[in-house]
């Protein structure tokens, strides 16, 4: 599909941003969906140093493989004080209702990303997300082959963040990226940043916890 941004939506796409220190973002093409031959469909957002993470997940009973995998790792991290580096995301295939193989694919995607970090060990460092059509298996070989390239594309500029925000889109008509700065009362001279990206256009009535 043509992903040109409709004129009415262009005002929602930022042309610059202030991004948090020590985080990198990037995207790459894996060709998850056969009909997509030109748009990046893998995104990676990482912290340069391991850091604490949290997540909320759908309460739908049929939770997709990446939801189950990330959820179990986060649950384990709470009891063991584990830290994470970031999250790898593919668009084009939700890896949902794909059974045990789907779970293995989600783990493989995260493990391959972990291998890109110098501090790789046995504990998972990367959470995983997928979005797209339900009931199809991930083309995992194409994804794992693209992950080293995805890692080499990481950077901290606005364009890196925007590219990542675009890569997680499915039927979205525009990438959704926000960033801002703030201060805290205890250190009013210190400026902090917060940045976030989101995607979604249909099948949207979240009930996460």
Partner 1 sequence: TLLGIICTDAKIDPRSMKKLLDKAARHSFNSISIDGDTSTNDTVAFFANGAAAPPGADPIALATVDERAKVFGPPRLNADTKAFATELSNFMTDLAKLVVRDGEGATKFVTIRVRSDVDYPTAKRAAVSIARSALVKTALYGKDANWGRILCAIGYAPGIMSSPELPAVDFPKVKDSDSLKQVRPDFTSVSFIPADGSEELKLLVRGEPEEVDEVRAKQILEMEDLEILVRLDDFPPPRGDLIRSHEAVMYTCDLSHEYVTINGDYRT
The residues in 124-163 that bind partner 1, with binding defined as CB under 8 A, are 127, 129-136
* Residue 39 C-beta: closest distance to partner 1, Å: 16
* Residue 120 C-beta: closest distance to partner 1, Å: 18
Give the one residue of 28, 32, 96, 109 binding partner 1; rule: CB under 8 A: 96
- Dist. CA 108–CA 111, nearest whole Å: 5
Asked if 25 and 175 touch (Cβ cutoff 8 Å), the reply is no
Question: Among residue numbers 67 through 86, which ones bind partner 1 (CB under 8 A)?
Answer: 67, 70, 78, 81, 83-84, 86
Give every CB contact of residue 164 below 8 A, 6+ residues apart in sequence.
25, 26, 27, 43, 44, 45, 197
Question: Among residue numbers 180 through 199, which ones bind partner 1 (CB under 8 A)?
Answer: 180, 182, 184-187, 190-199
55: how many CB neighbours lie within 10 A of its CB?
A: 14
The pairing of strands 42-51 and 126-133 is unpaired
Give the one residue of 51, 101, 152, 157 binding partner 1; rule: CB under 8 A: 51
- Dist. CA 119–CA 96, nearest whole Å: 30
What character string, x for contact with partner 1 (CB under 8 A) and - otherwise, covers 20-39?
xxxx----------------
* Residue 158 C-beta: closest distance to partner 1, Å: 14
Q: For residue 87, what is the enclosing H or E element?
A: strand 84-93
Establish if 117 lies at the interface with partner 1 (CB under 8 A): no
* Residue 40 C-beta: closest distance to partner 1, Å: 15
Give the one residue of 3, 17, 36, 48 binding partner 1; rule: CB under 8 A: 48
- Dist. CA 91–CA 136, nearest whole Å: 12
């Amino acid at each position: 599909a043509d992903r040109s941004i409709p004129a009415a939506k262009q005002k929602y796409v930022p042309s610059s941003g202030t991004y948090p220190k020590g985080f990198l973002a990037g995207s790459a093409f894996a060709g998850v969906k056969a009909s997509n031959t030109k748009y990046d469909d893998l995104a990676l957002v990482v912290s340069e140093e391991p850091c604490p993470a949290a997540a909320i997940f759908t309460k739908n009973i049929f939770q997709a493989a990446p939801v189950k995998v990330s959820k179990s790792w986060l649950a384990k991290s709470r009891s063991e004080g584990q830290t994470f580096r970031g999250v790898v995301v593919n668009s084009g295939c939700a890896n949902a209702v794909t059974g045990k193989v789907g779970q293995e694919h989600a783990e493989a995607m995260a493990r391959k990303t972990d291998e890109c970090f110098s501090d790789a060990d046995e504990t998972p460092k990367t959470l995983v997300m997928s979005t797209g059509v339900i009931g199809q298996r991930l083309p995992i070989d194409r994804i794992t082959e693209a992950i080293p390239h995805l890692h080499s594309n990481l950077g901290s500029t606005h364009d890196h963040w925007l590219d990542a925000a675009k890569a997680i889109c499915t039927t979205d008509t525009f990438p959704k990226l926000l960033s801002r700065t703030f201060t805290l009362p205890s250190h009013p001279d210190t400026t902090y940043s917060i940045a976030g990206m989101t995607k979604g256009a249909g099948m949207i009535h979240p009930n996460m916890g």
